[in-house]
Amino acid sequence: MSYSHSQVAHEWAHQTGRKENGGSLYYRGTTIYSYGSHFPIARHTDGAVLFTTRTYGQTTSKHLGHTARACSHLSVYRVDNVMASTKEEHIANVQLRLETISMELARASRARKYGDSIRAYALGMHDDISQYAHHFIPRYKMPVCDIEAIVADRKKLEKKERIRKRKEQAEREKAQQERLERWLSGEGGFNYGFTGTIRLRAKGDNIETMHGASVPIADALNLFALCEACRKNERGMDSFTHKVGSFLPTSIDKKGNAKVGCHDLSFDEMERMAKEIA
């Protein structure tokens, strides 16, 4: 049986061993693939996720989006070779990433309009690959990279980036709200990219989240009952024996808000859903 790509990605991220096949997106063990074993998207290894920097067609880009969303709560490093396991392979990943950073900096120096954004992107890549090297090859001495020339501009770049993001966010929010209303009414698939509170809807015998995960209504109501108890007693939980669908909850705080993998579920939204399906 073939499941939705978003559901398969969530099952892989949680390593449930269930619902492995989504047609062109599937996983086997710790690795998730797009269209075949020739294109591994990401792999769980050594307490982290290695996520590919490679891209292909439009459909594969969608696969990358599903997978990135599903593992966003984990430690993720973006590298060329997600199957790297030896010191030499990890070093090769670092060197390739540093080459990309150098090319981005050269591009930034030529850019008239987006130079600061490109430099900020390169700085972020350098931070990420430095953490990757520390994680997998802790004794490896990172090569000197000309990224150091812009470190002093970090605060200036970050300020400009914050301003840019605020403007983009304001433009997105209106469009996202319209998409959300359509999604809540039962139209379309999951509302990927929405940055607000995670919303829920009932569809058939399941509760769906706006990020594409689906669980049986009965399991969702059992979780809400635990959340109600935590809220009433003003005492949180961080140990669970029963899953919600395929997923084991991470925590419930004393206000009844729950965390399940990459989903932060508010008590108010769960209460709204419980009343709607009652």
Q: Is residue 169 part of a domain?
A: no
Same domain, yes or no, for 128 and 37? yes
Q: Is residue 182 part of a domain?
A: no
Q: Is residue 253 part of a domain?
A: yes
**Rounded CA separation 99/103 (Å):** 6
Same domain, yes or no, for 115 and 218? no
Percentage of the chain beyond pLDDT 90 is: 59
Closest CA to 119 of 130, 128, 109, 131: 109
Lowest-pLDDT choice from 81-95, 100-114, 177-191, 210-224: 177-191
Residue 110 pLDDT > 90, yes or no? no
Q: What's the confidence (pLDDT) of residue 257? A: 97
Same domain, yes or no, for 148 and 252? no
pLDDT digits (tens, 9 = 90+) for 52-78: 998 877 778 899 999 999 999 999 999
3-state class of 71 per DSSP?
coil
pLDDT digits (tens, 9 = 90+) for 213-252: 999 999 999 999 999 999 999 999 999 999 999 999 999 9
Same domain, yes or no, for 12 and 149? yes
Q: Which of 160, 184, 203 is the last residue of a domain?
A: 160
Same domain, yes or no, for 205 and 149? no
Residue 192 pLDDT > 60, yes or no? no
Confidence bin at 173 (pLDDT 50/70/90): confident
Bridge partners of residue 216, in order along the sequence: 206
Q: Which of 113, 137, 160 is the last residue of a domain?
A: 160
Boundaries of domain holding 249 = 193-277
Q: Which of 160, 182, 211 is the last residue of a domain?
A: 160
Same domain, yes or no, for 42 and 124? yes
**Rounded CA separation 42/35 (Å):** 13
Q: What's the confidence (pLDDT) of residue 157? A: 66
Same domain, yes or no, for 200 and 138? no
Same domain, yes or no, for 28 and 96? yes
**Rounded CA separation 133/120 (Å):** 20
Same domain, yes or no, for 38 and 127? yes
Domain count of the chain? 2
Q: Is residue 225 part of a domain?
A: yes
Q: Is residue 166 part of a domain?
A: no
Lowest-pLDDT choice from 93-102, 148-157, 185-194: 148-157
Averaged pLDDT for residues 102-117: 84
Q: Is residue 171 part of a domain?
A: no
Same domain, yes or no, for 204 and 125? no
Same domain, yes or no, for 235 and 113? no
DSSP for residue 190: -
pTM of the model: 0.63
Same domain, yes or no, for 131 and 197? no
Q: Is residue 184 part of a domain?
A: no
Q: Is residue 180 part of a domain?
A: no
